[in-house]
Amino acid sequence: MDRKRLTITLKKDIIKQIDSAIDGVKIRNRSHAIEYFLSKEFGPKVIRAFILAGGRGIKMRPFTYEMPKSMIPVKGRPILEHIIDKLREFNIREIILSIDYLGDKIRDYFGDGSKFGVKITYIDGIKPTGTAIPLVMAKNILGNSPFLLWHGDVLADIDIIDFVQFYESMDSLLVMALTSVVDPSIYGAVKLAGNKIVDFQEKAGSGPEISRLINAGIYIINPKIIELIPKKKISYLEKDILPKLIKDKKLSGYVFDGRWFDISTPEVYEQALQEWK
């Protein structure tokens, strides 16, 4: 990312506040701290989010007999509402929702998004299309700017400003948010070399050689990848796109340590009910 050197004069109490935010990891130094707070004030360059809110959620039955998985309540509100709240917190207010199974339940609840302080556009897949085809369907809406992609069954305490800044510093078409788990066997295990992802194993199994870093189900994407999506009825980012990006060294990983729940099983749902705030 292009930068220009500036000389500024600040009050001592402001400098103290800046210095208190430096932790050597998330915020490395004074210059990084000032850039971070200015970016947070003026908002991210990523202004649009795409949420994958389809799927039948078979493992979450009987809940999903009556509602889409993303509408399952946590702390009295649907998972999807928590996601939208997080996006709005970081001033991302243009949201595209990909829906199919029981999608009318989502439309009826959120409408055009105005009651939730956002603008919602719907992409209705009617039937399963995988995680990539909805992006093709939304190509004209997404435009040419990077966008955030979020799986609709994921709750995550992630700093989107920092995520965006990381994306802007990488020469990548896609940056995947990564979190660490004790048992990666049911997730997509990821291997990093520096910040580049060099291997991605969907449903990786178990063993000491398996990475504990996993795909958190949240990405920042350059819309150029839509051109890479195979022209077929069902296509997946994980199987059809990520291996190509790894080969071309255009896939990076952003590690965050906030709370994270992939609410795809009753066990994780129970944990989220107890721990999500």
By 3-state DSSP, what share of the chain in percent is helix, strand and coil, each rounded to 5?
A: 35, 25, 40
Question: pLDDT confidence of 40, banded at 50, 70, 90?
Answer: low
Q: What percent of the chain has pLDDT over 70?
A: 90
Q: Decide if 114 contacts 188 (C-beta within 8 A).
A: no
User: What does the pLDDT look like over 46-79, one tens digit per residue?
Assistant: 889 999 988 877 787 888 788 898 999 999 999 9
Distance between CA atoms of residues 216 and 259, nearest Å: 11
Kindly tell me if the per-residue pLDDT of 45 is higher than 80: no
C-alpha of 222 from chain center? 13
Give me Rg for the CA atoms of the chain: 19
Output the pTM of the full model: 0.82
Average pLDDT for the chain? 85
Q: 198-256, pLDDT tens digit by residue?
A: 987 765 555 555 577 888 999 999 999 999 988 777 888 888 899 999 999 999 999 99
Q: What ranges in 130-254 are assigned the alpha helix state H?
A: 133-137, 139-142, 160-169, 242-247
The domains of the chain are located at: 10-42, 44-275
pLDDT at residue number 178: 94
pLDDT digits (tens, 9 = 90+) for 90-101: 889 999 999 888
Q: Report whether 100 contacts 127 (CB < 8 A).
A: yes
Domain 44-275: which topology?
Spore Coat Polysaccharide Biosynthesis Protein SpsA; Chain A (3.90.550)
Check: CB of residue 174 under 8 Å from CB of residue 222.
yes
In this predicted structure, what is the pLDDT of residue 130? 80
